[in-house]
Amino acid sequence: MALALTYETSRTLVRMRLASFRHALRDQLRRSWIITGAFIGLVLAGGTIWLAARGEQDVLVVVLALWMLGWVVGPLFAGGGDETLKPEYFTMLPLSPRTLSSGLLVAALAGVAPVISLIALVSLVILGGQLSVVAALVAVPALLLQLFCFVLASRLAVAVYGVLLQARAGAVIAALVNAFILAFAAQGWALIAAFVSTDVQGTIAKAARFAPSGWGFTAVEAAGRGDWLQLLAALAGLAVLALVMLLVWSALLVRRTTANRAGRTPRRQLTASTAEGAAAAKELRSWTRDLLYGHRAVFAIAYGLFFCLMPLAIGLKSMLPWAGPAAVIMAGSMSCNLYGADGTALWTTVMTPGASRPDVRARQRAFLLAFGPVTLAITVVLTWWSGVASAWPLVLSVLPALLGGAAGLIVACSVYSAVPTTDAHKRSGNPLNTGENEGETMGIVYVMLIAVATSCAPALIVALYTGWWGVPVGLLSGALFWWYFGRVTARRLEQKGPELLTLLRHGRSPAEQAKKTAGLDALPKWRRTLAGFCLGFGAIPLIPQSVVPLVIKLTGSNSSKSWFLALYQEGAWQWVVIVLMGALGLSMYAFGGLTYYYARKHAPGASVAVGAA
């Protein structure tokens, strides 16, 4: 009876998951994200199979470990993963935790990512075929068990992460882990180079074999050499690990769907006597008490530190002075949807006459107080530690410009390009999941990374040519960004506050969604694809091939060429490559952005909407 109920539950949930996937494909933006992700995944899966065909066993087992790592950490950067079917939806049904978790697990397998991972794990079959017929046969159950472990590890990581985010210390730990992983994705070359230079490749491969991601690989190898005891131990280990993760996940689902989330009594009441003081106190409390706000703040600061400290593994100190500016850029991008995160709580501002300007300025001041002192301290300490005297005027010019630019851009972006999210009081047991518009939010985050970074351009240029004169330019440009964007944002909020509240409360109507994509649908498919590619990959020539080599050149450190193309050139050609790569990256962003802008502008009904606005 229990097995029959589990089967029917799984079947129903799979049908619901597939129906939701078909619905997602109707949205042009989400379809673009899915197609791009699937293409990249297929390329990586093909590379994994190619390694198996070449017999690169040590490299293959490390790559399989990276696949499992991607399953674990990927959802942490994608709004908690795909939770189309939230456990909270089924709390009123007479289903046991194990039945529900088993059904959700089977439903999770009905997606693009599991299919791509399954293709990558075919490398085990290819490896087994090179060893023996028995090894090829053993590879089939091994890859299926390995896939189950991948998906379960992902679900369990999200569940554990959700538990951590419900406690202040846990939110800090989760932010540190996230920041290290993302920084490693960008600067991990330094750690890898340090490992390679110490001849530990074999040690890494051996460790990957002992990790759960290598147990299927170990089973195939054992079958190839006739070691039946190790074969059985590896397969049994995968089965037991999958069962244990399923049981733990079931227990966490029970905690998630039954936990009491009653509000707590405030430790300190607001005592402000003016509207400006009350708004400022409220915003400061948001940064210190809201766990998601605190998580993002710690993440941004830790990312800046990890990003610039990792090159120390190869003795490169020239990145140290830029930890503070890097943290500000990340903080600005992570705060691009402040008003969207408020949700329906925005009505308290809309319904209070004259509250728009104090509220906007309060959010700007809170951001500066949250990140200004700490990033200044980080910049001063690490610049002194680096011993690069020429970096002082550069970083002290750039930092105030970035702080003011970020404080102005975050409020403007969150009002002009607000994305509806789940209200704070309606958040599910997975705090990472903030609604159905994660793809749109991530797109704005990427745009804000570039916008905040370019806000320091005047100060940087002046500092490069005149040295310390860049400091007053940075202070002035930061103040202008703060004042101007705060002013236009307050005016916009005053005029369009009710419309913004309606958007955050009800989301976009189907007609608005269709109007949003009508212009894109009218474009040739090749142009839509090219625009999406440019927006997705424009950062590669711009950041690592232009900005980072520029920083290395300006600080006078060429100790590591790594994968920076410009540093492999001679003399003036280094500057030529840096400029060309920067121009290529900016051109890619310009082409993609202008394509989407003009598509929306010339969409059917756009002129009417603009006139009404």
| Torsion from C-alpha of 382, 385, 390, 391, nearest 10 degrees | -10
pLDDT at 301 (0 to 100): 92
Q: What are phi and psi of 13, to 5 degrees?
A: -65, -35
Which tops the pLDDT comparison, 255 or 114?
Answer: 114
Q: Would the pLDDT of 547 be above 60? A: yes
Report domain extents, the chain. 2-258, 277-507, 510-613
pLDDT tens digits along 160-173: 777 766 666 666 77
Q: Which residue has the tokens 């791509």?
A: 116
pLDDT at 398 (0 to 100): 93
pLDDT at 213 (0 to 100): 87
Q: Would the pLDDT of 24 be above 90? A: no
Q: Would the pLDDT of 143 be above 50? A: yes
pLDDT tens digits along 319-350: 889 899 999 999 998 888 888 877 777 888 88
- The pLDDT-based confidence of 436 (bands split at 50, 70, 90) is low
Query: How open is the CA angle 339-342-348, to the nearest 5 degrees?
Result: 100
Q: Would the pLDDT of 400 be above 90? A: yes
- Residue from 481, 334, 503 nearest 416 by CA: 503
- The pLDDT-based confidence of 613 (bands split at 50, 70, 90) is very low
Helices (H), 74-111: 97-108
**Average pLDDT of the chain, as a whole number:** 79
Ranked by mean pLDDT, which of 157-166, 172-181, 205-214, 232-241 comes out on top? 232-241
pLDDT at 410 (0 to 100): 92
Reduced to 3 states, what is the DSSP secondary structure of residue 561? coil
Instruction: Write down the pTM of the prediction.
Output: 0.66
**Radius of gyration, alpha carbons of the chain:** 26
pLDDT tens digits along 259-295: 555 545 555 566 666 777 777 778 888 777 777 788 7
In angstroms, the CA 330 to CA 328 distance is: 5
Residue 151, CA distances (Å) to 15, 304, 412 in order: 18, 31, 39
In angstroms, the CA 349 to CA 345 distance is: 8
Q: Tokens in use for 145?
A: 């068990």
341 sits in which H/E element:
helix 338-342
pLDDT at 477 (0 to 100): 94
